Amino acid sequence: VRRPETVGIIGLGLIGTSLGMALRQQDRSVRVVGMDVEASAVAVARARGAITESAGTFEAFAQAELVVIAVPPAAVVAVATAVAAVMKPGGVLTDVASTKAAIVQTLGRVLPPHVHYVGGHPMAGAEGQGAANADPTLFVGRPFVLTPTAQTNRDALATVSAFVEGLGMHPVVMTPIEHDAQVAQVSHLPYLVAVAVLNAASDEALAIGGPTLAAFARIADSPAALWTQIAHANRTAIVHAVGAFRRELEALERSLADGPALQAHLARASERSPLARSEP
Amino acid sequence: VRRPETVGIIGLGLIGTSLGMALRQQDRSVRVVGMDVEASAVAVARARGAITESAGTFEAFAQAELVVIAVPPAAVVAVATAVAAVMKPGGVLTDVASTKAAIVQTLGRVLPPHVHYVGGHPMAGAEGQGAANADPTLFVGRPFVLTPTAQTNRDALATVSAFVEGLGMHPVVMTPIEHDAQVAQVSHLPYLVAVAVLNAASDEALAIGGPTLAAFARIADSPAALWTQIAHANRTAIVHAVGAFRRELEALERSLADGPALQAHLARASERSPLARSEP
């Protein structure tokens, strides 16, 4: 696998800018061409060393061996289609959207055959948003989910896999459907549950909340417009995850009057919690 | 309000030991008599400066103007009854249990009239448990809920209120029923919801979880035996809070296919989140 000499990053928010910074810190010779609809995001990304040049049009990505699309999920297909039209033969395209099935299926149908797309999703995030909050250490030790299909070019998969390993992430390969089901369980459901807890509590109760509530409040205080796109796009998997969650909550509720049964549920979650604490 | 010269702390876990440390740091002349069923907890509390002497029997609290009961909730009534029997007339008793209605009602019936009990609950906590994890800064800026009834002695209420203010907490007065309803919403429900998320997710999904899941895992990884007591004791209020939560979650679920409605729910939680972020 040859490491790319020119990488494009389209979308210079928290993830795109953090990726550029991590990439440039690891390889000072790589060209990173960045683009964003907001001129201020481009300026911040450049000032923070995330990109070496900025692009006004998609033609600027003609020489990129790898382009990472880091725009909000609802814009991924349009941006991928536009940039693929100008990329050189054999160019590799990936993205960071947190839902995969619909995007992967559509791009499999509409992208030109000379460009190779591999669906991606870094399992990382932070409270702050935007280029100003970018952090090149965000990805260290985190999974990067890759969602190839039977049609995915194997060299392109190896390229993206090596790229994310170079940034300190560990690639995890699964199908787009598996990805969407799993992130519904461990990302979208917890977010929606935190939203429901905040919306269900009285103002007086919120005011006396301790550290547990504060953690829920930090989770619920995420950009509503972005999450509307994510939750809408992954609604089938979310409904499934909510169903499984509701059954667990009902089992807990039924066991409230039965100490040993209740304790067994609580102990099970405590025992399973290390599985979920892979964070650095 | 005279500040007590001798304070008793029964139960030298995370909260009891942290209280003793905070108290001794604020007033080097106060005597703090500590007691715990575990000799190792007493030794740690003494080594950390949380207590000035240890008690082998309840008689050691005969001279205390204020006794704080910081044992697990299911043991509060038995310990309060035992210590009240030896306390001097006018002695004040409080506790830190996270459910109040049942404890306050029972103690109102069984305590001798010469001892004045005021229900208490510091809205603070930490991940670690036990005297070894005690932290005197745990309480700074946090609410301390006081739950007097019509029978509560007003001087005793003033004594406990001044005591917790001296430790940097701000006293919040409400009825035991209000307390239980509010903590069900902002503490017990979020904990049970985190448990249900952990128990509903597949092992594979847990393994790719990001920071949101890690926060849920930290919350779910609490002592199951203690939480069994809490959830069982407060089950009526919890069932009520779960009902309100379930309605919010159902509203979210119904709006998944309707962008503007979904975004309105998500934005509302984000707007309410500062109410819940009173943490230092």
Per DSSP, the residues of chain B read -PPPSEEEEE--SHHHHHHHHHHHHH-TT-EEEEE-S-HHHHHHHHHTTS-SEE-SSGGGGTT-SEEEE-S-GGGHHHHHHHHHTTSPTT-EEEE--S--HHHHHHHHHHS-TTSEEE-EEE----SS-SGGG--GGGGTT-EEEE---TTS-HHHHHHHHHHHHHTT-EEEE--HHHHHHHHIIIIIHHHHHHHHHHHHS-HHHHHT--HHHHHHHHHH-S-HHHHHHHHHHTHHHHHHHHHHHHHHHHHHHHGGG-HHHHHHHHHHHHHHGGGG----
Note whether A261 contacts B: Cβ–Cβ < 8 A. Answer: no
Q: Does the structure show a pLDDT above 90 at A274?
A: no
pLDDT digits (tens, 9 = 90+) for A173-210: 999 999 999 999 999 999 999 999 999 999 999 999 98
Mean pLDDT of B133-152: 95
* % pLDDT > 90, chain A: 94
- B264: Cβ contacts below 8 Å, ≥ 6 apart: B255
Cα B23 to Cα B7: distance, rounded to the nearest angstrom:
9
Task: Return the minimum-mean-pLDDT range out of A15-24, A125-134, B64-73.
Answer: A125-134
Note whether A26 contacts B: Cβ–Cβ < 8 A. Answer: no
Query: Does A276 contact B198 at a Cβ distance shorter than 8 Å?
Result: yes
Residue B280: per-residue pLDDT:
41
The SS3 assignment for A54 reads: strand
pLDDT category of residue A126 using cuts at 50, 70 and 90:
confident
Q: Does the structure show a pLDDT above 70 at B278?
A: no
Closest residue in B to A272 (Cα) is B198
Query: Does A257 contact B232 at a Cβ distance shorter than 8 Å?
Result: yes
Task: Give the DSSP letter string of A162-188.
Answer: HHHHHTT-EEEE--HHHHHHHHIIIII
Instruction: Enumerate the residues of chain A whose CB falls inside 8 A of the CB of residue B227.
Output: 266
Distance in Å, alpha carbon of B155 to nearest chain A alpha carbon: 24
Q: What is the CA angle A217-A193-A219, rounded to 5?
A: 30
pLDDT category of residue B45 using cuts at 50, 70 and 90:
very high
Preferred mutation among B216, B226, B239, B271 to probe A, highest tally of A CBs within 10 A: B216
Mean pLDDT of B154-160: 97
Residue A115: per-residue pLDDT:
98
Q: Per the structure block, which two tokens stand in for B137?
A: 């800064």
Query: Does A200 contact B245 at a Cβ distance shorter than 8 Å?
Result: yes
CB A163 within 8 A of CB A20: no
Cα A74 to Cα A58: distance, rounded to the nearest angstrom:
18
Mean pLDDT of B1-7: 90
Nearest to B252 among A192, A218, A276 (CB): A192
Q: Does the structure show a pLDDT above 70 at B145?
A: yes
Nearest to B265 among A142, A195, A219 (CB): A195
Q: Per the structure block, which two tokens stand in for A5?
A: 């000499």
Q: Does the structure show a pLDDT above 50 at A280?
A: no
Q: Per the structure block, which two tokens stand in for B44?
A: 């740690």
Question: Strand A31-35 relative to strand A53-54: parallel, antiparallel, unpaired?
Answer: parallel
Instruction: Enumerate the residues of chain B whose CB falls inside 8 A of the CB of residue A194.
Output: 212, 269
Cα A40 to Cα A12: distance, rounded to the nearest angstrom:
10
Mean pLDDT of B142-148: 97
Note whether A259 contacts B: Cβ–Cβ < 8 A. Answer: yes
Nearest to B208 among A172, A228, A245 (CB): A172
Interface of B with A in 93-132 (CB under 8 A): 123-126
Mean pLDDT of B264-268: 97
Query: Does A193 contact B274 at a Cβ distance shorter than 8 Å?
Result: no
Residue B128: per-residue pLDDT:
81
Cα B273 to Cα A216: distance, rounded to the nearest angstrom:
8
Closest residue in A to B228 (Cα) is A263
Nearest to B256 among A195, A196, A238 (CB): A238
Of B66, B56, B61, B58, the C-alpha closest to B27 is: B66
Mean pLDDT of B67-78: 96
Q: What is the CA angle B6-B9-B15, rounded to 5?
A: 135
Sign, Cα dihedral of A240, A241, A246, A252: positive
Note whether A197 contacts B: Cβ–Cβ < 8 A. Answer: yes
Cα A31 to Cα B77: distance, rounded to the nearest angstrom:
70
Cα A192 to Cα B205: distance, rounded to the nearest angstrom:
17
Instruction: Enumerate the residues of chain B whose CB falls inside 8 A of the CB of residue A143.
Output: 207-208
CB B102 within 8 A of CB B74: no
* Average pLDDT score over chain A: 95
Q: What is the DSSP letter of A34?
A: E
Query: Does B273 contact A142 at a Cβ distance shorter than 8 Å?
Result: no
Preferred mutation among A213, A248, A254, A272 to probe B, highest tally of B CBs within 10 A: A213
pLDDT digits (tens, 9 = 90+) for A150-166: 999 999 999 999 999 99
Nearest to B204 among A124, A182, A205 (CB): A182
The SS3 assignment for A280 reads: coil
Preferred mutation among A226, A256, A271, A279 to probe B, highest tally of B CBs within 10 A: A256
Distance in Å, alpha carbon of A2 to nearest chain B alpha carbon: 27
Sign, Cα dihedral of B61, B62, B67, B70: positive
Q: Does the structure show a pLDDT above 50 at B179?
A: yes
User: Residue B80 to residues A153, B30, B68, B83: CA-CA distances in angstroms?
Assistant: 71, 22, 9, 5
* Average pLDDT score over chain B: 95
Name the CA dihedral angle for A204, A206, A212, A218, rounded to a multiple of 10 degrees.
-170
Q: Does the structure show a pLDDT above 90 at A141?
A: yes
Q: Per the structure block, which two tokens stand in for A271?
A: 């025992």
pLDDT category of residue A278 using cuts at 50, 70 and 90:
low
> In DSSP terms, which residues pair with B150 in a beta bridge?
none
pLDDT digits (tens, 9 = 90+) for A27-54: 999 999 999 999 999 999 999 999 999 9
Residue B6 burial class via C-beta count within 10 angstroms: exposed 0-12, middle 13-18, buried 19 and up:
buried
pTM of the model: 0.89
Q: Does the structure show a pLDDT above 80 at A127?
A: no
CB B139 within 8 A of CB B112: no
CB B111 within 8 A of CB B79: no
- A43: Cβ contacts below 8 Å, ≥ 6 apart: none
* % pLDDT > 70, chain A: 99
pLDDT digits (tens, 9 = 90+) for A67-123: 999 999 999 999 999 999 999 999 999 999 999 999 999 999 999 999 999 999 999
Question: Strand A170-173 relative to strand A116-118: parallel, antiparallel, unpaired?
Answer: unpaired
C-alpha A218, offset from chain centre? 18
Mean pLDDT of B146-172: 97
- B39: Cβ contacts below 8 Å, ≥ 6 apart: none
